[in-house]
C-alpha cells in the first residue's frame, strides 16, 4: 500500500483552524501525572533472560534514557532460584534475586537510569503468591525495617483451588477472578494489606523504583489498588485490566478511587484490539481506530497507557496472545501520535529503532502529552488520517492509502517521518532539529556472513519470527508479478540463523514474470505459508535485508537502501531528467515513492518535489 498526496486533509488544520481548549479539569491525582509527555519502554519480552538481564539493560542506559522516561521491567522478586522463570509466581517479596540478575545488579541498574533521568517501573504481582516448598500454604517469614512479615492460610481466599487438594485456606472469598497457578491472596484481610504496603514501600524507598505495573488486576477488587497506591504515594501506576471492552477498563480505573480521586492508570487494551484490526493485512478495518478506547476519550486519556504488543500478546496466537505481524512501525507511529502514554514493546524498539527514535522526537517536539486533544480521526476504506494538537504544534498522521485527490500542496506543514504505510507531518512552527540529528546518525549494517549475493542477482533476505515455519515471498509491480502470480507466492530458502536465534530466509527472482515487461519488483511481502501471518506491503530494495517486523535494515550488497539516500535538486520531469517508476514507465509530477531519475534511484515525498537521491 502507498500514500497518495494530501491537500484535503492538511488544509483542515491550516492557519484558519479554530483551536479549542480542553474542556475537562486537570486536578492533581496520584496514579499518573496530568499533561505527562513521557514515553515508556517495556524493557523485556517473554523468556528474554539473556537479552534483558539487569547488566545488559544497564549497558544501554545512555541510549535508552535519551528516548524513554520510564522503563517497565519484569517482577524482580525471588520466584525460584532453581529455574529460569519470568517471576509471575513470586515466592519472596523482600528478596530480589531473579532470573534477570542479583539484587546488587538490580540496584545498580535502577541507579544508572535514575542518574540519567529515567525511572524504572516494577511489575508488581500481588494477586497471588507461591509457596517456598511443596506445601501450598507455606510462605516465608521476611524482615523489613525490623518488622517480620509473613502470610498464612488465613490470608488465602477460602475459594482458592488449594481447597480441592487437601489444604484449608480460611480467608474471605475472592473479590475477583481466580488464578490457578498460585495462591489467591485475600486483600480484605489486614495482614495481606500490611504485607503489600510494606512490600511497596520497599520497592519505592529502598530499591528505588518510581512506579508499579500491577499484574492481573482482574484477580482482586480495584479498591485495593487504590488503597495501596494512596499509602505508597506512588507517582506512576498502571493496571493490567486485560479486556477489550472499554467499560470494563474504565470501571476498573474508577474503582481505584480514594476520596473520589483516581489512583491508577490502565493499559488501553480496547485500542490494542482496534490496532490489530486496522493494521493487520487480514483486517484493515481503519474505522476501528475511531472507536471507543481510553486514549480517544478526553475523560480517560490521562489514564491510558497505549501499546501495540507486550510480553503476553506478542508471544503467538497459539499461546493466547494476539501479536500484530504487519505494519508494526505504522502502528507504533499511531500510538506515538495519540494522547495517553505510549509504551513501546522491546522487540519493536529493537527491530524499528531508528524510526521509533524519530517518532518519539516528533512527539516531544510537538508537545504531545497524555491529555493532548485529538482534532480528528478520519478513517477511509483504505487508510486513516489522525490529527492531534500538541502544546507546540499540530501533528498529522496519514495511515495506509489515504485518498487525498492527488493534490500535494501542504504549505503550512512539513514532513517529519515516513515509513511503510504511514507519513507523519508537523505544523511549520514545530522544531524538527532533534529529528534531523537522528537522521544524521550513521547507521551501520552488516549482514550475517551466510547472506551472499551473486552478480546481477535480484533477491531479498528476511529474518522470520521464531513461530514461522515456511516462508513464502510475494513480489510485484504495477504491471505484473515476480513470484508466480498465485498467492502466497514463491518459496524462500532458509540460509542460516542469527545470533538471536532467528532464521534468515532468502528469495531470489527466477526471471519469470507475469506481465508485459519487468525490471525489478516495486513491492514485496513475506508470509508464513499463508496462515495469516505476514508482513505489510514493503518497498522492495534489491538485496535488501528485512527484520521480522518488515523494517529494511540495509542491503547485503553494501548499500543501506533508503537510509543512504540524500536530497537532490532534480525537480523537473522534462529534458534530460526524465523520471520513471520502478516498472520503467514515465512518472508525472504527482508521482511519489521510489523512482528512477538520471539512472539513479530516488525517493520523492508526498509534500515536495525534492528528491532523495542514492548513488
Higher model confidence: residue 517 or residue 396? Answer: 396
Say how far apart CA 169 and CA 382 lie, in whole Å.
Answer: 56
- Reply yes or no on whether the pLDDT at 373 is more than 80: yes
Say how far apart CA 143 and CA 150 lie, in whole Å.
Answer: 9
- Closest C-alpha among 464, 460, 484, 611 to residue 538: 460
Q: Give mean pLDDT, residues 503-525.
A: 91
Q: Give mean pLDDT, residues 431-456.
A: 85
- Reply yes or no on whether the pLDDT at 549 is more than 70: yes
- Render pLDDT for 93-134 as a digit per residue (tens, 0 to 9): 999 999 999 999 999 999 999 999 999 999 999 999 999 988
- The bridge status of strand 523-527 relative to strand 593-597 is unpaired
Q: What percent of the chain has pLDDT over 70?
A: 82
- Reply yes or no on whether the pLDDT at 156 is more than 90: yes
Q: Taking the CB of residue 358, how many other CB atoms lie within 10 A of it? A: 25
Using 50, 70 and 90 to split pLDDT, how confident is the model at 503?
very high
pLDDT at 99: 92
Q: Which long-range contacts (CB under 8 A, 24 or more apart) does 141-144 make?
A: 142/92, 142/93, 142/94, 142/95, 143/94, 144/94, 144/198, 144/201, 144/202, 144/206
pLDDT at 575: 35
What is the 8-class DSSP label of residue 594?
Answer: E
pLDDT at 563: 33
Average pLDDT, the chain: 85
Using 50, 70 and 90 to split pLDDT, how confident is the model at 24?
very low
- Reply yes or no on whether the pLDDT at 202 is more than 90: yes
Query: How far apart, in Å, are the Cα atoms of 550 and each of 130, 217, 424, 470, 598?
Result: 40, 34, 19, 16, 29
- The bridge status of strand 593-597 relative to strand 566-568 is unpaired
Of 247-261, 405-419, 524-538, the least confident:
405-419
Using 50, 70 and 90 to split pLDDT, how confident is the model at 326?
confident
Q: Which residue shows C-alpha cell 517508476?
A: 581
- The bridge status of strand 611-613 relative to strand 566-568 is antiparallel
pLDDT at 282: 53
pLDDT at 536: 78
Of 135-144, 204-213, 315-324, 556-565, the least confident:
556-565
Using 50, 70 and 90 to split pLDDT, how confident is the model at 455?
confident
Say how far apart CA 252 and CA 138 lie, in whole Å.
Answer: 31
- Reply yes or no on whether the pLDDT at 568 is more than 70: no
Higher model confidence: residue 411 or residue 569? Answer: 411
Instruction: List Cβ neighbours of 49 (8 Å cut-off, separation of 6 or more).
Output: 84, 99, 100
pLDDT at 588: 57
Say how far apart CA 549 and CA 388 lie, in whole Å.
Answer: 26
- Render pLDDT for 63-95 as a digit per residue (tens, 0 to 9): 999 999 999 999 999 997 656 899 999 999 999
**What cell was used for 74?**
519484569
Higher model confidence: residue 10 or residue 419? Answer: 419
- Render pLDDT for 271-282 as a digit per residue (tens, 0 to 9): 999 999 999 865
pLDDT at 401: 83
pLDDT at 334: 98
Using 50, 70 and 90 to split pLDDT, how confident is the model at 411?
low
Cα angle for residues 310, 311, 314 (degrees, 5° grid) = 70
pLDDT at 82: 55
- The bridge status of strand 373-379 relative to strand 503-508 is unpaired
- Reply yes or no on whether the pLDDT at 211 is more than 50: yes
- Reply yes or no on whether the pLDDT at 308 is more than 50: yes
- Reply yes or no on whether the pLDDT at 602 is more than 80: no
- Reply yes or no on whether the pLDDT at 528 is more than 70: yes
- Reply yes or no on whether the pLDDT at 12 is more than 70: no
pLDDT at 587: 55
- Closest C-alpha among 129, 107, 122 to residue 75: 122
Of 142-151, 399-408, 599-608, the least confident:
599-608
pLDDT at 15: 33
Of 231-235, 244-248, 374-378, 541-545, the least confident:
541-545
Amino acid at each position: 500500500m502507498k500514500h497518495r498526496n494530501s491537500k484535503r486533509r492538511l488544509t483542515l488544520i491550516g492557519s484558519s483552524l479554530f483551536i479549542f481548549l480542553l474542556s475537562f479539569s486537570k486536578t492533581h491525582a496520584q496514579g499518573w501525572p496530568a499533561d505527562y509527555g513521557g514515553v515508556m519502554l517495556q524493557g523485556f519480552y517473554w523468556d528474554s533472560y539473556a537479552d534483558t538481564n539487569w547488566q545488559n539493560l544497564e549497558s544501554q542506559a545512555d541510549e535508552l534514557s535519551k528516548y524513554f522516561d520510564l522503563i517497565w521491567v519484569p517482577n524482580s522478586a525471588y520466584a525460584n532460584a532453581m529455574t529460569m522463570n519470568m517471576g509471575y509466581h513470586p515466592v519472596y517479596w523482600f528478596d530480589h534475586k531473579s532470573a534477570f540478575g542479583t539484587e546488587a545488579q538490580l540496584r545498580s541498574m535502577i541507579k544508572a537510569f535514575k542518574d540519567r533521568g529515567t525511572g524504572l517501573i516494577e511489575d508488581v504481582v500481588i494477586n497471588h503468591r507461591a509457596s517456598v516448598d511443596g506445601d501450598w500454604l507455606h510462605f516465608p517469614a521476611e524482615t523489613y525495617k525490623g518488622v517480620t512479615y509473613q502470610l498464612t492460610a488465613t490470608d488465602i481466599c477460602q475459594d482458592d483451588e488449594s481447597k480441592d487438594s487437601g489444604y484449608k485456606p480460611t480467608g474471605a472469598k475472592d473479590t475477583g477472578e481466580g488464578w490457578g497457578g498460585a495462591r489467591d491472596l485475600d486483600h480484605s484481610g489486614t495482614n495481606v494489606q500490611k504485607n503489600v504496603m510494606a512490600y511497596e514501600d520497599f520497592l519505592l524507598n529502598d530499591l528505588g523504583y518510581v512506579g508499579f505495573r500491577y499484574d492481573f488486576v482482574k484477580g482482586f477488587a480495584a479498591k485495593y489498588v487504590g488503597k495501596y497506591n494512596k499509602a505508597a504515594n506512588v507517582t506512576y501506576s498502571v493496571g493490567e485490566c486485560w479486556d477489550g471492552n472499554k467499560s470494563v477498563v474504565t470501571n476498573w480505573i474508577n474503582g481505584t478511587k480514594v476520596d473520589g480521586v483516581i489512583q491508577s492508570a490502565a493499559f488501553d487494551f480496547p485500542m490494542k484490539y482496534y490496532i490489530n484490526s486496522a493494521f493487520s493485512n487480514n483486517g484493515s478495518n481503519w474505522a476501528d481506530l475511531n472507536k471507543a478506547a481510553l486514549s480517544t476519550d478526553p475523560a480517560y486519556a490521562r489514564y491510558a497507557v497505549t501499546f501495540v504488543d507486550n510480553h503476553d500478546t506478542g508471544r503467538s496466537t497459539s499461546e493466547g496472545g494476539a501479536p500484530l505481524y504487519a505494519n508494526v512501525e505504522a502502528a507504533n507511529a499511531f500510538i506515538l501520535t495519540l494522547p495517553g502514554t505510549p509504551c513501546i514493546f522491546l522487540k519493536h524498539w529493537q527491530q524499528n529503532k531508528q524510526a521509533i527514535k524519530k517518532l518519539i522526537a516528533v512527539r516531544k517536539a510537538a508537545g504531545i502529552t497524555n491529555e493532548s486533544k485529538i482534532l480528528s480521526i478520519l478513517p477511509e476504506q483504505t487508510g486513516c488520517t489522525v490529527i492531534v494538537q500538541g502544546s507546540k504544534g499540530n501533528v498529522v498522521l496519514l495511515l495506509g492509502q489515504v485518498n487525498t485527490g492527488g493534490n500535494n500542496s501542504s504549505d503550512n506543514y512539513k514532513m517529519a517521518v515516513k515509513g511503510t504505510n504511514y507519513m507523519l507531518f508537523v505544523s511549520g512552527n514545530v522544531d524538527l532539529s532533534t529529528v534531523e540529528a537522528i537522521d544524521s546518525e550513521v547507521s551501520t549494517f552488516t549482514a550475517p556472513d551466510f547472506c551472499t549475493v551473486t552478480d546481477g542477482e535480484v533477491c531479498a533476505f528476511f529474518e522470520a519470527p521464531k513461530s514461522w515455519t515456511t516462508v513464502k515471498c510475494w513480489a510485484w509491480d504495477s504491471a505484473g508479478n515476480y513470484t508466480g502470480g498465485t498467492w502466497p507466492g514463491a518459496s524462500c530458502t532458509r540460509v542460516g540463523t542469527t545470533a538471536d536465534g532467528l532464521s534468515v530466509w532468502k528469495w531470489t527472482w527466477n526471471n519469470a514474470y507475469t506481465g508485459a515487461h519487468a525490471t525489478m519488483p516495486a513491492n514485496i511481502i513475506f508470509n508464513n505459508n499463508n496462515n495469516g501471518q505476514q508482513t505489510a506491503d514493503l518497498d522492495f530494495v534489491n538485496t535488501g535485508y528485512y527484520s521480522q517486523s518488515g523494517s529494511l535494515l540495509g542491503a547485503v550488497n553494501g548499500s543501506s537502501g533508503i537510509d543512504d539516500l540524500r536530497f537532490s535538486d532534480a525537480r523537473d520531469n522534462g529534458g534530460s531528467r526524465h523520471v520513471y517508476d520502478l516498472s520503467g514507465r514515465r512518472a508525472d509530477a504527482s508521482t511519489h515513492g521510489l523512482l528512477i531519475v538520471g539512472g539513479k534511484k530516488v525517493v520523492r515525498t508526498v509534500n515536495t518535489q525534492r528528491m532523495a537521491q542514492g548513488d
